[in-house]
């Protein structure tokens, strides 16, 4: 009797301490069809999203999890650039975006004592630091506490667990893993004891209701296609497709490309410029539209732009298809359809926390 080899899934290290790992466990539950789906995978932690992307493209892992956007900090450009690098030069391997997970942003300040007594520095990933900038600025101004960047929120958690002079900003999952060594700092008590002038003490983040989108990278054969739903009286696809526009640096090229999207009557949800890696002062565009690559209109956009602007030597195509995946933002706006999506594609025991 043959035994199947567990699939390998990569994410930002350390395991169990980052939201990337949480997104991986959700996808694993979806993919395996059971709440303990991660047991069917071999977890592979990486030091950076760039390593996750490269490993999946090489085939070293079956799936990779990367953060692509959060509602408090915007597009995570480093990930877009690392994906774009796959199409520079004579690369022979690539990856596809095959799924998406949407996680709420919930940051906690944690130390060994649950206070800031004796704490000299607070560490976290640069995105978390930016998202909690208001509270951190007060701590710097009033308590002279340094704010330092860590490799990840999980790495900061490990440092705080091992060093009483270090505090960390990380997730609820990280706090749960180290519950025997770390405690959350109560902002209300902190304000009472130190008169910091905090605007509010209910949360650490600058703004409420933040979410992070995580892309699941995999081979093209793992693409799935969701159906449609009637939302606010209009029929919508529950899929989304991402392109990279690599247009000639000439007058009117972006206008023409957007005109092709308009002619196909497709909703454009995101367009974001970022510098080309190997061409100074030229830009590519990260573009997301409603629909699946199997839709005639979406396919027409890909083919129309590439026909209008043929591929140049030593350059990616003018329109690169990155993948098609669930439109989690649209589902979030319509709870009844989000419930239906979760019931169909995830085990019923899943806990969502949003």
User: Is residue 245 a contact partner of residue 289, using CB atoms and an 8 Å limit?
Assistant: no
Give yes or no: residues 270 and 227 share one domain.
yes
CB < 8 Å & 24+ apart, contacts of 304-312 = 304/260, 304/264, 305/245, 305/247, 305/257, 305/260, 308/256, 308/257, 308/260, 309/247, 309/248, 309/253, 309/257, 312/248
Three-state DSSP state, 27: helix
Question: What per-residue confidence (pLDDT) applies to 2?
Answer: 46
Give yes or no: residues 183 and 57 share one domain.
no
Give yes or no: residues 68 and 217 share one domain.
yes
Q: Which two tokens stand for residue 227?
A: 């159906």
User: Is residue 246 a contact partner of residue 308, using CB atoms and an 8 Å limit?
Assistant: no
**204, part of any domain:** no
**246, part of any domain:** yes
User: Is residue 156 a contact partner of residue 150, using CB atoms and an 8 Å limit?
Assistant: yes
Question: What per-residue confidence (pLDDT) applies to 103?
Answer: 93
Question: What per-residue confidence (pLDDT) applies to 3?
Answer: 53
Question: What per-residue confidence (pLDDT) applies to 138?
Answer: 97
How far is 81 from 58, CA to CA, in rounded Å? 17
Q: Radius of gyration over alpha carbons of the chain, in Å?
A: 22
CB < 8 Å & 24+ apart, contacts of 186-193 = 186/114, 187/109, 187/135, 189/115, 190/115, 190/116
Domain range for residue 288?
Answer: 223-349
Question: What per-residue confidence (pLDDT) applies to 279?
Answer: 76
**206, part of any domain:** no
Count of domains for the chain: 3
Q: pLDDT of the chain along its 354 residues, tens only? A: 445 689 999 999 889 988 999 999 999 999 999 999 999 999 999 999 999 999 999 999 999 999 999 888 889 988 998 998 888 766 678 999 999 999 998 999 999 999 999 999 999 998 899 999 999 999 999 999 999 999 889 999 999 999 999 999 999 999 999 999 999 999 999 999 999 999 999 999 998 888 999 999 999 999 999 988 888 788 889 999 999 999 999 999 999 999 999 999 999 999 999 887 677 888 899 999 999 999 999 999 999 999 999 988 778 899 999 999 999 999 999 999 999 999 999 999 998 877
């Amino acid at each position: 009797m043959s035994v199947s080899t567990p699939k390998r899934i990569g994410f930002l290290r350390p395991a169990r301490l980052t939201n990337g790992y949480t997104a991986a466990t959700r996808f694993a539950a979806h993919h395996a069809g059971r709440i303990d789906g991660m047991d069917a995978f071999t977890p592979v932690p990486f030091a950076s999203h760039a390593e996750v992307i490269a490993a999946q493209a090489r085939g070293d892992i079956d799936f990779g999890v990367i953060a692509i956007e959060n509602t408090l900090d915007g597009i995570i450009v480093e990930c877009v650039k690392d994906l774009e690098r796959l199409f520079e030069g004579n690369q022979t391997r690539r990856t596809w975006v095959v799924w998406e997970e949407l996680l709420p942003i919930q940051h906690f300040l944690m130390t060994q004592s649950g206070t800031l007594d004796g704490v000299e520095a607070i560490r976290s990933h640069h995105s978390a630091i930016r998202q909690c900038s208001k509270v951190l600025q007060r701590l710097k101004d009033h308590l002279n506490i340094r704010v330092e960047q860590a490799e990840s929120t999980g790495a900061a958690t490990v440092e705080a667990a091992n060093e009483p002079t270090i505090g960390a900003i990380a997730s609820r999952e990280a706090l749960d893993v180290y519950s025997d060594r770390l405690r959350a700092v109560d902002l209300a008590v902190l304000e009472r004891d130190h008169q910091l002038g905090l605007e509010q003490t209910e949360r650490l983040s600058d703004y409420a209701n933040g979410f992070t989108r995580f892309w699941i990278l995999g081979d093209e054969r793992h693409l799935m296609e969701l159906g449609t739903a009637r939302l606010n009286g209009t029929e919508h696809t529950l899929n989304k497709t991402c392109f990279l526009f690599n247009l000639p640096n000439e007058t009117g090229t972006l206008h023409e490309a957007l005109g092709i999207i308009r002619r196909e009557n497709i909703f454009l949800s995101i367009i974001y410029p970022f510098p080309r890696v190997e061409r100074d002062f030229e830009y590519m565009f990260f573009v997301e539209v409603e629909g699946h690559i199997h839709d005639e209109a979406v396919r027409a956009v890909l083919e129309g732009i590439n026909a209008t602007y043929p591929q140049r030597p030593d350059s990616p195509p003018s329109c690169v298809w990155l993948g098609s995946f669930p439109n989690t933002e649209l589902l979030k706006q319509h709870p009844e359809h989000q419930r239906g999506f979760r019931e169909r594609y995830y085990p019923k025991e899943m806990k969502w926390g949003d």
